[in-house]
Amino acid sequence: MLIYIFKRLLIAIPLIFGVLTLTFFIIRLAPGDPAAFFIQPGISPNVAEQIRAQYGLNDPLPVQYFKWLANVLQGDFGRSFSRAQQPVFDVIAEALPITLTIAILTLIANFTFGILIGIISAVRQNTFLDRFLTVTALFFYSMPEFWFALMMIILLALKFPFFPVSGLNEIGAESYGPLGFLLDRAWHLVLPVTVLSINGAAGIARYVRGSMLEVIRQDYIRTARAKGLSENVVIFKHALRNALLPVITLMGSALPFIFSGALFIEVIFAFPGMGRVTVEAIFARDYPLIIANTFISGSLIVMGNLFADVLYAVADPRIKL
Amino acid sequence: MIEKSAERVSSLSIRLAGYLLVLFTLFTLSSCNRHNDSKGNGSKSRAAMDTTLVISMLGDADYLNPVIGATVTSSNIFGLIYPSLLQSEFDTTTGLMNYMALEKKLRAVTPGQGKKAPKGAIARSWRLSDDHKSLTYILRSDAFWDDGKPIVSADFKFSYQLYGNPVIASARQQYLAELVGADKGKVDFDKAIETPNDTTLIFRFYKPVPEQLALFHTSLTPLPAHRWKDVKPDEFRHSPLNLTPLGAGPYKLKSWQQQQEILLVSSRKSNLPKPGNIPAISFKVVPDYTVRVTQLQTGTVDVVENIKPEDFTALLKANRQIDIKTVGLRVYDYVGWSNIDQAEYRKNGTFKPHPLFGSARVRVALTNAIDRQAIIDGYLKQYGVICNNDISPSLKWAYNNRITPHPYDPAKASALLKSEGWLPGPDGILQKNGKKFSFVLYTNAGNARRNYASVIIQQNLRAIGIDCKLDVQESNVFFESLQSGKLDAWMAGWSIGLEIDPLDVWGSDLKKSRFNFPGYRNPRVDELCELAKQKMDPVEAKPYWLEYQEILHRDQPITFLYWIKETQGFNKRIEGAELNISGTFYNVDDWRLRPSANIAQ
């Protein structure tokens, strides 16, 4: 399995590299100018030109590419255009932990609630509870997340002010002490994580229900019951483990969705995470930052997929890597 | 049997779910308590609320450095941290800028004006030479940076060298355009700025400069030379000193969490003009508009700029502690018509009238056809004013109030178009020589006001037989298409400067006049702009500006739509806020916060 992981990682290098090269050219071919902000009445026409020279944008495209390549191979992704020329990895180092926190919490919530609801619906198939859960799940599944987020804010932060509207912490939260600070942070994360995970959990519940129903009808489940095993053991040990196989692959592919979901959640809730950094970088045509973001999210997605494949082998002994 | 065991399992799952729910509720409640504690219990946190003004901002400041900070947010904030050579104020009765030193004013202050005391100025007085080519400032000797070092004339010279350095690429280098050497491409700082002693500062110009412009262009914010002198120009933009600005103004930077919050505290030692009244000001980044408005409503923030008129009613109803303050008029929207055939101009550099919009009569007809008042009534309400040209009614000294706006008159529009040969075709669309009057009106994405207006314009034009399709482009793309002359018709807006200088927008030389997107060319307009520039007192240029406005009104190079009053949401606990056309936060150091005990809930 180690060899397999090593091989996959090796393949990932040219893959990510190809993605970066494509991104490099696509963003430069897209209309828009990183120095556009400086083209306005009252600002000398020289300024935009000087700014472009600073960014190295006056070179021909191939020259820019090879210069960029040389820097990237030395691990230097450059400095951000739009964020006071901070090195891009400093920008990302500040933003990534925030997004990862949201993503991991969401992933946990997604699967916990999704699997739980799925099992309940499957085991109680065609009862009122099952139908209720199915309809509710579909309701949330088909709801646009940004709209849902705004509705949650209006309901739970404005009409009934249980939760804060935005931000990662209260103003002056530093004075609460470490535990208070963490609680305050968790408090601010409830709404965004709920919004992000409800949609995903609803989808996963549908999957789990389907595969659980299929598994419950298998002969070996009947055998297990015939042996006199308790129902908990039958469902959680024999059935669930098999039913979860297709769900595990979902885990790998859920990561990109959660990442893209984080984009708008961060804008709406004013979290300075990767999503907001990316959106703002794109609007500002901040080339180095866009590329570095692509690098990070691309790597995470590749890793996520690899992780899912490995998990698959762990869960199902029939699969050999 | 299966049924029964299934029930057992599901009851187990339900129990599990129940536990989770209880846990969640507990967590929620515990946090809720803590939350209430932090708000209600502590006189400590109430005190914190009473001493901190929270202003929301759309994005973070780029630099808190006057040389390179280019956004409005940045200059709002560094304006509080750094001192200034002169104090400036926009006189709303005349519409003229006034500049003040400690012992001298450019103009007498008219009654009801002059709310800002000149105590913040570093200059005691100034003298402009008779030939208008040299300006000598006498500085006060009791001005100090926050680290105790005196502010001296050399700080200004040093800062101007930074502003003028092409490697630093300051967005304010235009201010140096009249200094000696600028006409030859490079300012000669040895001759242009002299500092015979610590309190004398002399600027020299290569040509005579009107006093108002000279004061405006020589009063750029200084940086402390002793702190910045060792920073190399190519490292200037990413110097760590940018994160710890050393100023002398009413506030100083306490902390800067990038992309989240900038916290300023009143600078106790400041005498330029004095420590800020409110002990702390927090500028909070809230990128989403709906969230900003919600926060104003819940009292989490005190000031939100640019609230959309459609949100006023709900906002004021939900929280009676909110006040909408207006300032203007500096911003207008317009529909741009390509006056020339852009493709022809790009290809051969020759000027041919645009097949649809090339004639002034057609453009006047289009203005007649558009119901501007309906757009104002439907969207801006009392916060919009019909716009006739690009000299704002707020610039009272120059505004031509004898011009009657082109009325909404579809019949007149049709008649004008008919006289130009545009006649209805079989499908009801106007035609001329087999060409249909049909075009695409472009605008930028994400502007609700322009979206609203564009739909009304489309209907209005359809009513007189003009086919107008709408297209919305991402802002960067839109701006690029506009610059490269790819659009025939578009909707955009301008925010005008307080000094009238329209040559960039209407000059006939399209290479020089980079913002003349319609390609409007009228030699008399060029001439009037030049004549006005030569007047040493701007007020004497009034006749030229009156004529200029009549020409624009007649030629309608674009359809001027409406002036917009900027509408800012304020919590009523703020007292003493005076909004000025030169900025929402222009006297923020004089604001006060009413203690929360006095706020009726």
Smallest Cα–Cα separation from A106: which of A241, A208, A308, A257?
Answer: A257
What mean pLDDT is predicted for residues A84-93?
A: 86
Q: Across all residues in chain A, what is the average pLDDT?
A: 84
- Structural contact between residues B180 and B187, judged by C-beta atoms closer than 8 angstroms: yes
Distance from the Cα of B420 to chain A's closest Cα (Å) equals: 35
Q: Is the pLDDT of residue A88 over 50?
A: yes
β-bridge mates for residue A127, sequence order = none
Provide the pLDDT confidence category of residue B1 given band limits of 50, 70 and 90.
very low
Residues of B within 8 A of A283 (CB-CB) are: 475-476
Distance from the Cα of A124 to chain B's closest Cα (Å) equals: 7
Distance from the Cα of B300 to chain A's closest Cα (Å) equals: 9
Residue B464 and residue B449: Cα distance in Å, rounded?
A: 23
What mean pLDDT is predicted for residues B270-295?
A: 89
Residue A235 in contact with partner chain B when CB distance is under 8 A: yes
Residues of B within 8 A of A37 (CB-CB) are: 70
Provide the pLDDT confidence category of residue B600 given band limits of 50, 70 and 90.
very low
Q: Across all residues in chain B, what is the average pLDDT?
A: 88
End-to-end CA distance of chain B: 62
Q: What is the ipTM of this complex?
A: 0.73
Express as a percent the part of chain B with pLDDT over 70. Answer: 91
Of residues B334 and B39, more confidence is placed in B334
Provide the pLDDT confidence category of residue A171 given band limits of 50, 70 and 90.
low
What mean pLDDT is predicted for residues B105-128?
A: 86
What are the φ and ψ backbone dihedral angles of B67, each rounded to 5 degrees? -75, -40
Of residues A258 and B28, more confidence is placed in A258
Which helix (H) or strand (E) segment holds residue B384: the answer is: strand B384-386
β-bridge mates for residue B385, sequence order = B563
Q: Is the pLDDT of residue B36 over 60?
A: no
Residues of B within 8 A of A274 (CB-CB) are: none
Q: Is the pLDDT of residue B15 over 80?
A: no
Residues of A within 8 A of B291 (CB-CB) are: 153, 165-166, 268-270
Of residues B47 and B505, more confidence is placed in B505
Burial of B88 (0-12, 13-18, 19+ CB in 10 A): buried
Q: Is the pLDDT of residue B131 over 90?
A: yes
Amino acid in the structure at residue B289 = Y
Which helix (H) or strand (E) segment holds residue B301: the answer is: none
Cβ-Cβ contacts under 8 Å between A and B: the total is: 179
Residue A93 in contact with partner chain B when CB distance is under 8 A: no
Q: Is the pLDDT of residue B345 over 70?
A: yes
A contact test, residue of B259, B480, B515 with most A CBs within 10 A: B259
pLDDT in tens, B360-415: 999 999 999 999 999 999 999 899 999 999 999 999 999 999 999 999 999 999 99
Structure tokens at A276: 């907001």
Helix-helix angle B360-369:B448-463, to 10 degrees: 110
Computed over its alpha carbons, how large is the radius of gyration of chain A?
Answer: 24
Q: Is B330 helix (H, G, I), strand (E, B) or coil?
A: strand
What mean pLDDT is predicted for residues B172-188?
A: 93
Minimum-distance CB partner of A235 among B9, B288, B476: B9
Provide the pLDDT confidence category of residue A5 given band limits of 50, 70 and 90.
confident
Residues of B within 8 A of A95 (CB-CB) are: 259
| DSSP conformation letters of A251-281 | HHHHHHHHHHHHHHHHHHTT--SHHHHHHHH
What mean pLDDT is predicted for residues B192-221?
A: 96
- Structural contact between residues A252 and A309, judged by C-beta atoms closer than 8 angstroms: yes
Domain annotation for chain B: domains and CATH numbers? 81-234 (3.90.76.10), 329-564 (3.10.105.10)
pLDDT in tens, B87-96: 988 888 889 9
The per-residue pLDDT for B328 is: 79
Distance from the Cα of B421 to chain A's closest Cα (Å) equals: 37
Amino acid in the structure at residue B338 = S
- Structural contact between residues B109 and B98, judged by C-beta atoms closer than 8 angstroms: yes
Between chains, do B9 and A119 touch, taking CB under 8 Å as contact? yes
Amino acid in the structure at residue B126 = W
Q: Is B329 helix (H, G, I), strand (E, B) or coil?
A: strand
Q: Is the pTM of this model over 0.95?
A: no
